[in-house]
Amino acid sequence: MVTHRQLLWAWLRSSRGEVSAIILALVLASVLLFILIKLPDVMRQHDWGFGPGWECRAMPYGDPVCVKKPGASGPDTTQPSK
C-alpha cells in the first residue's frame, strides 16, 4: 500500500535534467537582468530614423527629442522622416 508521504515524495523528487534546466533558466534570467540594469545606454544609441543631419536624445519619459545639426546638408536633413 502506498502512503500519502510516499506519493508526496515522488512529486517532489527532481531528475538531473530538471535541476539543470532550472539552473540554466536562472543563469539566463540573471544575465538578462544584468544587461538591462548595467547597460541602459543601449537604447540611447539607437538611430531614431531622422537621418545623419539630426541629433536625437532619448528621454527617460516620452519620445526622443531631435535637433537639426548646424550646417547639415543633404536631402534628408530638411525635415525629419516619420
- Residue 62 · residue 70 · CB < 8 Å: no
Query: DSSP letters along 3-63, please?
Result: -HHHHHHHHH---HHHHHHHHHHHHHHHHHHHHHHH-GGGTTTS--SS-TTEEEE--SSSS
- Residue 72 · residue 50 · CB < 8 Å: no
Is the pLDDT assigned to residue 13 strictly greater than 90?
no
Is the pLDDT assigned to residue 75 strictly greater than 60?
no
Q: What is the dihedral of CA 60, 66, 70, 71, to 10 degrees?
A: 140
The residue with greater pLDDT, 3 or 32, is 32
pLDDT of residue 47: 56
Compute the mean pLDDT over every residue in the chain, rounded to the nearest whole number: 77
The residue with greater pLDDT, 10 or 29, is 29
